[in-house]
Amino acid sequence: MNPCNFYCMPKLKAIYYDTETTGVKPDKDRIIEIAAYDPVRKESFVQFVNPRCPIPAESTAITGITDEMVAACPSFEVVGQAFIDFCGPDAVLIAHNNERFDKLFLEAECSRNSLTLPSWKYIDSLKWSRKYRSDLPSHSLQNLREVYGIAANQAHRALDDVMVLYEIFSSMVDDLEMETILELLSAPTNVSRMQFGKYQGRPLSEVPADYVRWLKNGGAFDKSENRELKEAFEKLGVLK
């Protein structure tokens, strides 16, 4: 390998981002606000999106975003391209619950609007917290904010959540390089505590067997993000 090919490779840069949406189903619901922060340039991006459909009252109750606020705003076709341009081609996009929410919405909207996503890498800060802060009873963004002593924000508004996420994740990973973080996330996990549900934070040995079987019958362990949890219960002999 030519040494220049390694040393001249572009360094991955972190982009923290968040989306607010009309609901929780990427195939049906729409992004109504998207924000991002580039800590290297110290620049932010935030934009309302006209979803071309009414915003449900349930969404407005959570985000505070109304039909009137997005009526004169551009569609995702325009906003999405501006977001892609802001992030650049060699970014690592970081969001809380990225794998199961923000990334899925971003991909769905880009596909819907014929936008080509760069070959970005993604980090889910929720996954990192569950993996390396298994001592915590909750891994929600607001609970992590309190754990790390970060000032309260306007929760469920995209840029506010992005800035809080930036502070939280910076504290959690300290000075680790993005490449190292990606490697650690892909490494096998020694799961010792329940990661979600009514027994979240409890040692796996204290989770009732009938509850574990109920999760299995409901398909919870069929999800890729719960594979290591399933294996941990199998080692304990709870799952056969």
Which residues are tagged catalytic? 156
Partner residues linked to 45 by β-bridges: 36
Burial (CB count <10 Å: 0-12, 13-18, 19+), residue 33: buried
Cα 146 to Cα 58, 117, 136, 143, 207: the distances in Å are 26, 34, 11, 5, 26
Q: Name the residue type at position 21.
A: T
Contact call for residues 86 and 36 (beta carbons, < 8 A) = yes
